[in-house]
Amino acid sequence: MRDATPQTVFLKDYTPPEYLIDQVELNFDLDEQRTQVRSTLSLRRNPQSPDSSAALKLLGEELQLVSIAIDGQLLEASQYLLGEEALTIYEVSQDRPFQIVIENIINPQANTALEGLYLSSSMLCTQCEAQGFRKITWFLDRPDVMSRFKTTLIGDKSKYPVLLSNGNKVGQGELENNRHWVSWEDPFAKPCYLFALVAGLLECVADDFTTMSGRRIALEIFVEKHNVDKCDHAMQSLKNAMRWDEETYGREYDLDLYMIVAVDHFNMGAMENKGLNVFNTKFVLARPDTATDSDYEHIEGVIGHEYFHNWSGNRITCRDWFQLSLKEGFTVFRDQQFSGDRSSPAVKRIEDVNALRTRQFAEDAGPLSHPIRPEAYIEINNFYTLTVYEKGAEVVRMLHTLLGAAGFRKGCDLYFQRHDGQAVTCEDFVKALEDANGVELNQFRRWYSQAGTPVLTVSQRYDAESQQLHLTIQQSCPPTPNQPVKAPLHIPVKLGLLAADGSVAPIICNGSSQSEMILNVTEAEQTFSFDQLVQPPVVSLLRGFSAPVTLKIERSPDELAFLLRHDSDTFNRWEAGQQLAVQVIFKLIDAIELGRPLQLQPVIVEAYRSVLTDSSGDLSYQALLLALPEESYLSGQMAIIDVEAIHQAREFVKKTLAEQLHAEFKQLYIQHHRDESGSFDAGAVGRRRLKNACLSYLSKLENDDIYHIAEQQFYSARNMTDQLAALSAIVNSNHPAKARSLDSFYVQWRQESLVIDKWFTLQATSSMPNTFATVQALMKHSAFDMKTPNRVRSLIGAFSQANPLHFHAQNGEGYRFLADQVLALNTLNPQIASRMVTGLAQWRRYDAARQGLMKQQLQRIVATEHLSKDVYEIASKSLA
């Protein structure tokens, strides 16, 4: 158990800050083990907080105090209280501004939590969101205190030739003993979570961008020397993002310089620090031979995401951390739009929905479920969740759907104009959208406060006599922690109708005729009627996945096959194929559980045959149509998850399809298997996707001919997508060349840590029988390192979150292993440790034996001494 029960912070307790800090001057004398910080704060009482106390409480953790002075007077020990988490100065001026100078010392090398100032390889860098600034110096570390920062960095010229901070460079000079200094000034007031500094031996890849008003912006990406040849895609992505935000939202960049630094050690993907983004190398570095097509896409998406934060997050920030989705939900929505526009909106939407339904829906159905605007937290770092980010983006998308593109843009314009330079709330965002459009969104607001995934149950009745279709939609939402009863939400449901020949049937409703319409579902039960339908139509509901809900509608396999063939909505065409596969797989799961022989229904074989032979469209989309629902999505549909039956049934479908459509898969593979160096254009990406989808099916046949094809592709590939797809086919089979291929891959890429992460993940996610032993052996591999989050995620994260079959082994070895690793990580890096606990959070969804085993490990974690707040919160809430 922890030493004391950690405190919960509540949204309802929010009060404005008692003091404000207008200016900050920071001076860093950098050293790996002993960095000296001098912070000069210009403070005053906040006029918005009339009942302020005379004492000033500055937050700070793990800091060594040297001195404090107020208005030039050194303070004596009796004038302040130095605690574990704060420095309280008993009396400060109430009627005029005052200045505090604090000197303190920090040890970046000892900082394995990667929060505050830390060492990544030989580089010094910072991570301040959410509450890392307090590990640099004492401060009012809360987002509604916005200050102008001036920063001076002093360091050794050989170790730290590059010294960076936010804003513009305003001075530099030489010092004795081979040292130098650089000063930076950020003209925009910002909360301290957006502060950053970087010092290191770095190369700069430079370019520029001319904004819509003709200003020239210098763009600089800083990386270690051996990575200079992997920055082109990130740079191009940045320029694309800058142009896109001008064209789509009318947003222009505001400083003269935009810098990105790529670091090997990072807890998350990237960070939007003003003018100085710090990125996980995973989301910057790409060369065709080292990065897959998905990596290229993720890089473009994350570069866009951080860039878009400059307006949705930095210029307008959050009042408090409960409002996190204000910046994250909105920015994820913006990056999704950007990526869709850059590639294929249809493919991007399917990928996003797939991720939401497999991962966020599980979170929302479990003990950690929370609204996109949470009401309480113990450790805010635990709330950078799929719910706040991905469901938050869905909520913004629904607003976009309800207001239309033009209305949404009008609302955003007002939001940006009204709140520029402020720290605001989700409510302010909704209000701006309302005011700009002259609408009210009162019921819609419930999406911000209500957790859980709503369920829409649809029934239809066709009346031949009146030629009407009546659609009844019921909505409900399961109880979630602290929210036993839910109120109805405002849910936009996009609808289309298909005639029997597959053509569009006009929707005639209340006298108007449309080819598609939005149904505003607002009540617990509602019926919509459509006229002039000579024949019963086939309904296509929730087009484009217009709301983050579970749709329940009875469909025959034939109707699903019909929609898969004819629906003009690309999302729903794909969805019909998915639901057809779901039905088929669940029939097989029943058969497995009853010990009956397995048989594949011909309807799915024919549906897949037509997908395989219709190459009229986008090849990436065709590849998605061929992908069977993931095991984790199937788990979400089962009352008691049967991991083995799910795996066995899905494998059976895959193998049988490969057998029955062998010729078609092979033909497509051959047709699209070209010797490509890996250009990242839609055509080449599509060819690779489709070809590798075919290879994945064919590899289930376990025949020599296919083994030969896979091995050939592995050795001859000139791009990582093809090489990895071939290796994956080999690793997940009984291929005789498995060990040889893995060794060869390791030797080829041992210098490229991001590629070696893939090597770990591939083995950790293998469905082959000896995977757990392999994982244990890999933990001892010389390339494994608990202090590198990417490596931890690539092995422990991959095994526990993406290998249900082996992680949930009946004997509980997977659970014990995970708990061991969580406890080891707890002291090194609490944020990463708590992310790993989520593998155990869904324990209630398994059979009694597994429940007991998982619970036992959670209890063991909670009972451990010196548990971090991060791990304590997730483990204890999982048990609650």
Under the binding rule (CB under 6 A), the answer on residue 267 touching ligand 0A1 is yes
How would DSSP label each residue in 682-719?
A: HHHHHHHHHHHHHHHHHGGG--HHHHHHHHHHHHH-SS
To the nearest 10°, report the CA torsion of 582, 587, 592, 596. Answer: -160
- The C-alpha atoms of residue 513 and residue 507 are separated, in whole angstroms, by 5
Q: Which does 794 bind (CB under 5 to 8 A by kind): ligand 0A1, Zn ion, none?
A: none
Give 116 or 304: the residue with its C-beta nearer to Zn ion: 304
d(CA 162, CA 605): 60
The answer to the question of residue 711 lying near ligand 0A1 (CB under 6 A) is no
Q: Please list the residues that pair with 67 across neighbouring strands.
A: 103
Looking up tokens 């019963």, which residue turns up? 536
Does residue 61 interact with ligand 0A1 by CB under 6 A? no
**Half-sphere exposure (CA, 13 Å, Cβ side) for 791?**
18
Among 141, 224, 272, 320, binds ligand 0A1 (CB under 6 A): 272
Q: Which residues pair with 665 in a beta bridge?
A: none
**306 belongs to the catalytic site:** yes
Structure tokens at 452: 């859980």
| DSSP 8-class letter at 438 | T
Query: By the 8 A CB rule, do 523 and 513 touch?
Result: no
- Whose CB is nearest to ligand 0A1? 268
Q: How far apart are CA 271 and CA 303, in angstroms?
A: 10
Partner in contact with 630, chosen from Zn ion, ligand 0A1, none, beta carbon below 5 to 8 Å by kind:
none
Q: Which is nearer to Zn ion, 200 or 329 (CB)?
A: 329
- Cα gap 183→198, rounded to integer Å: 12
Terminal-to-terminal C-alpha distance of the chain: 15
Nearer to Zn ion, 129 or 631 (CB): 129
The DSSP bridge partners found for residue 69 are 74, 101
Q: How far is the CB of 800 from ligand 0A1 (least distance, A)?
A: 21
Structure tokens at 813: 């070895």
For residues 127 and 271, is the Cβ–Cβ distance under 8 A? yes
What does 129 interact with, of ligand 0A1, Zn ion, none (CB < 5 to 8 A by kind)? ligand 0A1
Of the residues 270, 561, 694, 796, which one makes contact with ligand 0A1 according to CB under 6 A: 270
381 binds ligand 0A1, rule: CB under 6 A: yes
Q: Which one of the listed residues 115, 224, 306, 434 is annotated catalytic?
A: 306
Based on CB atoms, which residue is closest to ligand 0A1, 290 or 382?
A: 382
Stretch that binds ligand 0A1, among 123-131, 553-561, 667-675, 695-703 (CB under 6 A): 123-131
Which CB atom, from 267 or from 281, has the smaller least distance to ligand 0A1? 267
Residue 188 contacts ligand 0A1 per CB under 6 A = no
Q: Which does 127 bind (CB under 5 to 8 A by kind): ligand 0A1, Zn ion, none?
A: ligand 0A1
- DSSP character string of 500-548: TTSPEEPEEETTEEESSEEEEE-SSEEEEEEB--SSPPEEEESGGG-SS
The amino acid present at 411, given as its one-letter code, is: G
Q: Is 264 in the site for ligand 0A1 (CB under 6 A)?
A: no
Shortest spacing between CB 403 and Zn ion, in angstroms: 23
Q: Considering the complex, state which of residue 306 and residue 752 has its C-beta at the smaller distance from Zn ion.
A: 306
Stretch that binds ligand 0A1, among 37-45, 270-278, 337-345, 692-700 (CB under 6 A): 270-278
Among 18, 31, 129, 351, binds ligand 0A1 (CB under 6 A): 129
Which among 124-132, 454-462, 557-565, 568-576 is the span making contact with ligand 0A1, rule CB under 6 A? 124-132
Name residues whose C-beta falls within 8 Å of residue 203's C-beta, 6 or more positions apart in sequence: 222, 223, 224, 225, 227, 228
- Numbers of helices and strands, H then E, in the chain: 29, 34
Pick from 26, 140, 192, 268 the residue near ligand 0A1 by CB under 6 A.
268
Residues in 326-385 at the binding interface with Zn ion, rule: CB under 5 A = 328, 331
Residue 305 C-beta: closest distance to Zn ion, Å: 6
Task: List binders of Zn ion among 176-215 (CB under 5 A).
Answer: none
Please state whether 675 falls in left (phi above 0), alpha (psi between -120 and 50) or beta. beta
Residue 373 or 672 with smaller CB distance to ligand 0A1: 373
Task: List the one residue from 271, 362, 473, 725 that touches ligand 0A1 (CB under 6 A).
Answer: 271
Distance CA 339, CA 356 (A): 16
Picked from Zn ion, ligand 0A1, none, the partner binding residue 642 (CB below 5 to 8 A depending on kind) is none
State the number of binding residues for Zn ion (CB under 5 A): 2
Tell me the DSSP string of 633-671.
Answer: HHHHT-SS--HHHHHHHHHHHHHHHHHHTHHHHHHHHHH
Per CB under 6 A, does 384 bind ligand 0A1?
Answer: yes
Least distance from ligand 0A1 to the Cβ atom of residue 269, Å: 6
Q: CA-CA distance, 468 to 470, in Å (whole number)?
A: 6
Show the CA angle centred on residue 126, arms to residues 240 and 3, nearest 5°.
130
Residue 385, SS3 per DSSP: coil
Tell me the closest approach of the beta carbon of residue 363 to ligand 0A1, in angstroms. 17
Per rule CB under 6 A, count of chain residues that contact ligand 0A1: 15
H or E element at residue 153: strand 147-156
| Residue whose CB is less far from ligand 0A1, 282 or 700 | 282
Rounded to an integer, what distance in angstroms lies between the CA atom of residue 275 and that of residue 259? 6
Evaluate the CA torsion angle 781, 782, 786, 788 in order and state its sign: negative
Site string for ligand 0A1, 322-361 (x = CB under 6 A): ------x---------------------------------
Residue nearer to Zn ion on the CB measure, 388 or 539 = 388
Task: Name the one residue in this structure whose structure tokens are 């990056």.
Answer: 335
DSSP state of 598: P
Stretch that binds ligand 0A1, among 50-58, 266-274, 467-475, 519-527 (CB under 6 A): 266-274
Say how far apart CA 880 and CA 878 lie, in whole Å: 6
CB of 270 to ligand 0A1, least distance (A): 5
Q: Which listed range, 267-275, 336-344, 436-444, 758-766, lies at the site for ligand 0A1 (CB under 6 A)?
A: 267-275
- Candidates 37-45, 91-99, 264-272, 355-363: pick the segment binding ligand 0A1 (CB under 6 A): 264-272
Span near ligand 0A1 by CB under 6 A; candidates 262-270, 432-440, 526-534, 847-855:
262-270
Smallest separation, CB 191 to ligand 0A1 (Å): 12
What mask of x and - would describe binding to ligand 0A1 in positions 806 to 835, judged by CB under 6 A? -------------------------x----
Active-site residues, by number, are: 306
Contacts to Zn ion by CB under 5 A: 328, 331
Residues forming contacts to ligand 0A1 in the complex (CB under 6 A) are: 127, 129-130, 267-272, 305-306, 328, 381, 384, 831
